[in-house]
């Protein structure tokens, strides 16, 4: 065991050259300088400008799309307003048509009623006139018959009466008739 420990300590003492690890190897330093210079110049001259350009392009695109969306929205709102106005006008139009229809129907009804009334009046008038004519005819016929009867009676009475009495009677009769 002691042998191993001694050997280990001796080896550890020899390996104190581990501090070498903290000293950079010249060739690696050169490689590092070259490598980092490549990365730095690439980022500085190409990558970062390319990314900034991409981001600017994206910002412009997004702004454009936002503006387009706003414009589309405003157009849609305008169309909606027009549509609403159209719908509202359509309601008014329908109401107007209904009103006109109602008015036409009322007028038609009025006309029909007026016509019916006129026809009814005409019928009544005609009936009245017919009735009057009939009445007149009947009256005339009656008068004629009455006259015939009267003449017949008067002839019968007259045949039994004097001429003066006949004459008086005829005058009286005529007077009563009137």
Partner 1 sequence: MITAAETCDFINNVVCKPENVNSLFEFGNFGSSDISRTEILILLAAIIPVVLMFFGLRKKSVIPGRLQSVVESIFTFVKDEIALGVIGRGGEKFTPYLISVFMFILVGNLFEVTPLINFPVTSRMALPLFLSLVTYVIFLFVGIKTEGIKYFTNLLWPPGVPVALKPLVGAIELVSVLLVRPFSLAVRLFANLVAGHVMLSLLLASAYFFVVQPGVGEYIVSKAPVGLAWFTLGLAIYGFELIVSILQAYIFTLLSAVYIQTSLHPEH
Contact 157, 169 (CB under 8 A): yes
Nearer to partner 1, 51 or 97 (CB): 51
Tokens of 35: 């490598």
What is the distance between the alpha carbons of residues 120 and 61, in angstroms, rounded to a whole number? 85
Q: Which of 13, 43, 115, 163 binds partner 1 (CB under 8 A)?
A: 43
First to last CA, the chain: 184
User: Is residue 36 a contact point for partner 1 (CB under 8 A)?
Assistant: yes
Query: Which of 61, 63, 125, 136 touches partner 1 by CB under 8 A?
Result: 61
Taking contact as CB under 8 A, which single stretch among the options 41-49, 99-107, 114-122, 143-151 is the one that binds partner 1? 41-49
- Asked if residue 115 lies in contact with residue 138, where contact means CB atoms within 8 angstroms, the answer is no
Helix (H, G, I), strand (E, B) or coil at 103: helix
By CB under 8 A, is residue 39 in contact with partner 1? yes
The token pair at 82 is: 């027009």
CB of 38 to partner 1, least distance (A): 5
Task: Verify binding: residue 164, partner 1, rule CB under 8 A.
Answer: no
Measured from the CB of residue 46, what is the shortest distance to partner 1 in angstroms?
8
Do 154 and 170 meet the contact criterion of CB atoms below 8 Å apart?
yes
Q: Does 34 bind partner 1 (CB under 8 A)?
A: yes
Angle between helices 48-159 and 163-177 in degrees, nearest 10: 170
Binding site for partner 1 (CB under 8 A): 4, 7-8, 11, 14-15, 17-18, 20-25, 27-29, 31-36, 38-40, 42-44, 46-48, 50-51, 53-55, 57-58, 61
């Amino acid at each position: 065991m002691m042998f191993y420990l001694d050997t280990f300590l001796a080896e550890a003492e020899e390996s104190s050259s581990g501090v070498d690890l903290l000293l950079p190897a010249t060739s690696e330093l050169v490689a590092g300088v070259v490598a980092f210079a490549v990365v730095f110049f690439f980022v500085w001259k190409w990558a970062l400008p390319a990314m900034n350009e991409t981001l600017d392009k994206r910002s412009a695109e997004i702004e454009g799309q936002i503006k387009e969306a706003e414009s589309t929205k405003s157009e849609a709102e305008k169309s909606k307003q027009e549509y609403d106005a159209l719908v509202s006008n359509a309601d008014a139009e329908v109401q107007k048509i209904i009103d006109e229809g109602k008015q036409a129907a009322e007028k038609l009804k009025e006309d029909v009623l007026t016509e019916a009334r006129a026809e009814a009046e005409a019928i009544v008038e005609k009936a009245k006139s017919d009735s009057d004519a009939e009445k007149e005819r009947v009256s005339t016929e009656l008068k004629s018959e009455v006259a015939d009867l009267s003449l017949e009676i008067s002839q019968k009475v007259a045949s039994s009466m004097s001429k003066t009495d006949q004459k008086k009677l005829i005058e009286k009769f005529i007077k009563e008739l009137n």
